Amino acid sequence: MRRYLKVMLMLILTVEIFAEYKFPMKNPYVATIVGSSKIMTEGIPNEVPTKEYEILMERSKKIPDNLWYDKGFKFSLSKQKGQAPLIFVLSGTGSAYNSTRTKNFQKIFYNAGYHVLTVTSVFNSNFILNVSNSRVPGVLIQDGLDLYNVMGDMLDKVKQEENLHITDTYLMGYSMGATHSAVLSYLDSVGKDFNFKRVYMVNPAINLYHSATVLDDMLIKNIKNKGEISKIVDEVMDAVKRNISPSDLQITEESIYSIFEKQKLSDKEMERLIGLAFNLTSIDLNYVVDQINGTHVYSKTRPEKFDSMFKYFEAINFANFSDYLNNLAYPYYLKILGGDLKFNDVIKYGDLRIIRNYLKNESKIVAVTNEDDFILAERDKQFIKDVFKEQSLIYPVGGHCGNMFYQTNVDKMLEFLKTGVFNNEL
């Protein structure tokens, strides 16, 4: 009888704990596809005052002719009318400053009274071409330094041109942008250029290689061979053409998700779709890094300004992130750092554990993720618990970034940024 009562009590407590968090999408793939770009918070305007900017860097002068459209590092500012705190928003893997998710955070923070600067991912071609010193992203400290420097340039530009009055400076990022937020906080603890008051990390990758491999495998394990990817891409392209006007034709992770979110897909089909969306980012990464470094892994020639790109992308043959690390990143860093460098060393440089000692002693940082975030290994979730302790929260559901615009999540984020007190209870 006592054992029965004990079991019943545990069940009741479990139900109560999970009942308190009412995010409606319990399947992590549904949450990722449907929820990751959808604002589920009341009172957020559809549009906020936004102005776009461009900085011509030294590297901007060396952009290949066929990539002319990427000349100049681009970003945006949403400015309050008077004095206000400023927050930088770091985009997820490969996403631009004006991607749907980044713009959603821009709306949320502007509505909460912040000046907002949006920052493109280090894995986006615009960043690689104009900002990246290595031109081979994937090493956290090196990428962080590039980000740190260009964010200083961004801030200088808007201060000069917009007469911006700032009280305090904050930082947040989602997905890979969250990972870089931690690195930037570490760099700023030494550089003191921004003196970030608080930092908020949403669904960070802990080990870049592990997370990327998981996403690669979500496509690979659900197809027979690479030839099948072409058929899937054709299906996606047909759907894109039917649902997006030619003037808005951008094949991004978010546009793919928006088209397929209303379709009833099996778990296998959703895994494949998430893996394909990530693969499109990897294709672009492989192509741009190969071309601007002249490594000729995928092509022996450089395209002219208006050349057809088909033969170049055909040569890449849906190369994924693992291909990028093996074919481009590791050989580059082996050449730069010497013959004793092992592949696992490069993987370590893409792991937040390299700044563990800093993170575990820094109370101004909060990290949130989800129990069912498939880009994290169990040891990664344990790392978040051990390092950030009471400054962390692992929601029971939400997939990867699927619940970051949900009311509960947004309220906790804004409360911490405003007060410095994090409520880590559901």
Nearest to 405 by CA among 187, 203, 140: 203
**Which residues, listed in sequence order, are joined to residue 79 by a DSSP beta bridge?**
none
Range list of β-strands (E), 233-364: none
Q: Residue 118: its pLDDT value, please?
A: 98
Q: What's the pLDDT tens digit per position in 111-143?
A: 999 999 999 999 999 999 999 999 999 999 999
Query: Parallel, antiparallel, or unpaired: how do β-strands 115-119 and 51-55 relate?
Result: unpaired
Q: What pLDDT sits at residue 364? A: 98
The Cβ of residue 224 has, within 10 Å, a number of other Cβ atoms equal to 6
Q: What is the pLDDT of residue 302?
A: 79
Nearest to 252 by CA among 89, 102, 30, 65: 102
Q: Are 365 and 199 in contact (CB under 8 A)?
A: yes
**What pLDDT sits at residue 303?**
80
The pair of structure tokens assigned to 43 is 């009172």
Instruction: Return d(Cα 422, Cα 417) in angstroms, integer.
Output: 9
Quote the pLDDT of residue 414: 98
**Are 281 and 265 a contacting pair, CB within 8 Å?**
no
- 73 neighbors 104 (Cβ within 8 angstroms): no
**pLDDT recorded at residue 14:** 42
Distances (CA, A) of 236 to 92, 142, 246, 317, 372: 22, 35, 15, 17, 26
* pLDDT tens profile 357-379: 999 999 999 999 999 999 999 99
Phi, psi of 350 (to 5 degrees): -105, 30
Q: Is residue 174 within a helix (H) or strand (E), and if so which, with residue range?
A: strand 166-174
- Low pLDDT (below 50) residues in the chain: 4-18, 245-249
Indicate the pTM of the whole model: 0.91
Strands (E), 272-320: none
Nearest to 119 by CA among 140, 86, 144, 150: 150
- Residue 240 is predicted with a pLDDT of 58
CATH homologous superfamily of 28-207+357-419 equals: Alpha/Beta hydrolase fold, catalytic domain (3.40.50.1820)
Q: What is the pLDDT of residue 234?
A: 73
Residues with Cβ within 8 Å of 65's Cβ and at least 6 positions away in sequence, in order, are 304, 305
Short-list 291, 288, 287, CA closest to 316: 287
> Which residue ranges make up each domain of the chain?
28-207+357-419, 213-345
pLDDT of the residue at 230: 78
